[in-house]
Structure 1
Amino acid sequence: MRSGRQGPGFVGICVTAAAAIEERSWLLRPDLAELGLEGRVRAPLYRAVIPMHGRLPVADISLSADPASERVDQLIFGEVFDVLDADGDRLWGRARRDGVVGWIDRAALDRGAPLATHRVASTTAGLPLNALIHHAWSGVAADDLMPTGTFERDPVAVAERMLGTPHQLGARTSRATDCSGLVQSCLYACGLAGPRRTDEQAELGYAVDRADLKRGDLVLWLKPDSGESWTGHSAFALDGDRLIHATGHAGAVVIEDLAEAEARYAADGFSAPVFRRL
């Protein structure tokens, strides 16, 4: 995967705070950029992405070509991964559904980006919630599928079906999930925008006061200086006093009093929570 259009020498990019979220999704390195960035940034080489899609129920996306490096995301069956470069059996690119850039095993992917006809709507099917199916039969029971474009109405009801799901950093499925992955999965199930990271989720909807908190509102603690790929902690309000979230403290998706969670995250150095209504 070494062919591509030559460009002028790479120069550094001045990243503003407003552009930081968008630029995390760019396929851009000092030696290479995706063709879609030509005219926006300078790079020594531009190359078109090759669309592929997930052939395994779940595959990890890592920070570097080393499979043992930090897991930053996952690709679910049927989701598209746009490939720009390779290092042996590891491919570098972007998960198209949520925009996360990283490395994935070649064996996890098939060529192309077929149009899905169905979505897995069950949290207990053979494929994870929100897996994308490209034909009516996939080994998943018809009762566990919804046609593309048909969605649920209450993301909290979806989260309640995931109670007890193990908490794992970098995971985002009904088999295991981190905090922002739970929020993302439940929003996807309802046909709503589901960014991957807490700081992106904090841009959704509009702000509300804690006193007005109601079921389905987002409760978000930001921690941009975490030193990791995660940027905070995400939860749904179950009502005015309780949360449903995936937390390392409990090791699973649980219901917890908001006041208890606030005290713990304040002690851990997180910013005060923000509340967003979708």
Structure 2
Amino acid sequence: MSDPRCDPNPDYLGVDRPGRIIWPHVDLCRTPSGARDRQLLAGADVTVLGENDTHAYVKAAQDSYIGFVPTRSVGGPSTPTHSVSVPGAHAYRRASIKTPETAAFSFGALLTARSESQDFIETEFGHIPKAQLTSGPIPTSDAIATARLFLGTPYLWGGNTRTGLDCSGLVQIALITAGHACPGDSDMQERETGAHLPAGSDHEPGDLLFWKGHVALVTSPTTMIHANAFHMRVVEEPIIPACARIAQNGGGDVTSHKRL
């Protein structure tokens, strides 16, 4: 696919202002009425390149991905105070888990506190339990530990949240949390992330394996974790039989083995 970070659509330019995502998450689409390419989480910084009453044309600060989101999903810039540090979290109408929930968030969402009580942070979305948050950005963590938070998450093309992930979305979340820059698509990840290893190299935890249109994160000398359409969820499984199955099902052989 063409690189979605290049050659902005000239028909949708004319604005250049900072913004942030003010919905729990939002689809980022190649065209206003098109399918989802990726997703942006609450608090994600964007540059608004153009907009009308229905759609904003934005560039994501995280990976320079360009696309369309609903205009109402973009607010003014702000400084987040907390991050969602568990796979999923809810906001509630009041500072009680027995009140109705008002929003659901995924790991890595950025939120700004308005006030706090003993157990809750009040945000623009409602009250969120402190146990599900960390102050400031997500602390740098091991990529494998982050990826394992999403075991069992349903497969979703272009997904970046606990409700649905694809292979490159899982790897992007894991690597960025570990302090590595990482684009959003597997072909870009293959070109830009890590150093190539010769065919037949041993697998080490943290390595990346690529196929045409697919990527997995190595978790041990014999296992890997990936979001895949065969299982339709995030799984950790042995490398050798997974490679055989992928090849048998038409995915071909590993195209790159890379080490960060």
- Normalised to the residue count of structure 2, the TM-score between the two structures is 0.80
Partner Cα distance (2:136, 2:182) in 1:
16
1:53 aligns with 2:20: yes
| Counterpart for residue 260 of structure 1 | 241
Gaps of 5+ in 1: 1-19, 34-46, 224-231
Aligned length: 232
* Contact 1:215–1:239 (Cα < 8 Å) also in 2: yes
Counterpart check, 1:156 vs 2:121: no
Return the offset for 1:216: 1.6
Cα distance in 2 for partners of 1:73, 1:63 equals 9
Matched, 1:248 2:213: no
CA distance in 1 between counterparts of 2:84 and 2:206 reads 22
Cα displacement (A) at 1:97? 1.4
Say if 2:243 and 2:253, in contact at 8 Å, map to a contact too. Answer: no
AA partner of residue 219 (structure 1):
L
Alignment of structure 1 residues 82-101 onto 2, 5 Å: 82-101=47-66
1:134 lines up with 2:112 in the alignment: yes
Equivalent residue in structure 1 for 2:196, among 207, 212, 217: 207
**Aligned partners of 2:138 and 2:231: how far apart in 1?**
33
Q: Distance in 2 between matches of 1:30 and 1:158?
A: 38
Choose the corresponding residue for 2:180, options 185, 192, 196.
192
Farther-moved stretch of structure 1 (156-165 vs 268-277): 268-277
- Name whichever structure is richer in strand by fraction: 2
Q: Quote the residue 2:5 is aligned against.
A: 25
User: Aligned AA for 2:151?
Assistant: L
2: CA distance between counterparts of 1:251 and 1:120?
Answer: 25
SS at match of 2:168: helix
Q: Displacement, 1:271?
A: 5.3
- Going from structure 1 to structure 2, the CA distance change for 1:133 and 1:32 (only over 3 Å counts) comes to closer
- Amino acid corresponding to residue 218 of structure 1 in structure 2: L
| Matching residue's letter, 1:114 | S
Please identify, of 162-171 and 87-96, the stretch whose mean Cα deviation from structure 2 is larger.
Answer: 87-96
Q: Tell me, what secondary structure is at the counterpart of 1:211?
A: coil
> Which consecutive residues of structure 2, in runs of 5 or more, have no partner in the other structure?
91-104
Question: For each residue in 1:181-225, what CA deviation from the matched residue of structure 2 results, as whole angstroms up to 9, or x when unmatched?
Answer: 00111122223223211122222222335432111211122x3xx
The Cα shift of 1:150 comes to 5.6
* 1:70 maps to amino acid: A
1:115 match: secondary structure: coil
With over 3 angstroms needed to count, the CA separation of the structure-2 counterparts of 1:121 and 1:189, relative to structure 1, is: farther
Asked whether 1:147 is paired with 2:138, we answer no
1:275 aligns with 2:254: no
Q: Secondary structure at the match of 2:201?
A: helix
Alpha-carbon distance in structure 2 between the residues aligned to 1:64 and 1:31: 11
TM-score by length of 1: 0.75
Matching residue within 29, 41, 57 for 1:62: 29
User: Take 1:105 and 1:257, find their aligned partners in 2: how far apart are those partners?
Assistant: 41
Note if 1:171 corresponds to 2:151: no
Alpha-carbon spacing, 1:105–1:141, altered in 2? closer, same or farther (3 Å):
same
Cα contact 1:51–1:81 (8 A) shared by 2: yes
* Closer/same/farther in 2, CA of residues 65 and 153 from structure 1, 3 Å limit: closer
Deviations 1:236-267 (A, max 9, x none): 11212221100011110011222233234334
- The one-letter code matched in structure 2 to 1:131 is A
- TM-superposed CA distance for 1:105, in Å, is 0.8
How far, CA to CA, are the matches of 1:76 and 1:276 in structure 2? 28
Identity level (%)? 29
Q: CA deviation at 1:125?
A: 1.7
Q: CA deviation at 1:117?
A: 2.9
Q: Which residue of 2 aligns with 1:217?
A: 207
For residues 163 and 84 of structure 1, what CA distance do their matches in structure 2 show? 36
Tell me by how many angstroms 1:25 deviates: 1.5
Decide whether the 8 Å contact of 1:27 with 1:101 is kept in 2.
no
Question: Cα distance 1:270–1:115, how it changes in 2: closer, same or farther (>3 A)?
Answer: farther
Please give the alpha-carbon distance, in whole angstroms, between the structure 1 residues aligned to 2:245 and 2:44.
36
Query: Aligned partner of 1:119: which letter?
Result: S
Deviations 1:106-149 (A, max 9, x none): 12221x22122332211132221111123373333223223335
Deviates more, 1:97-106 or 1:83-92: 83-92
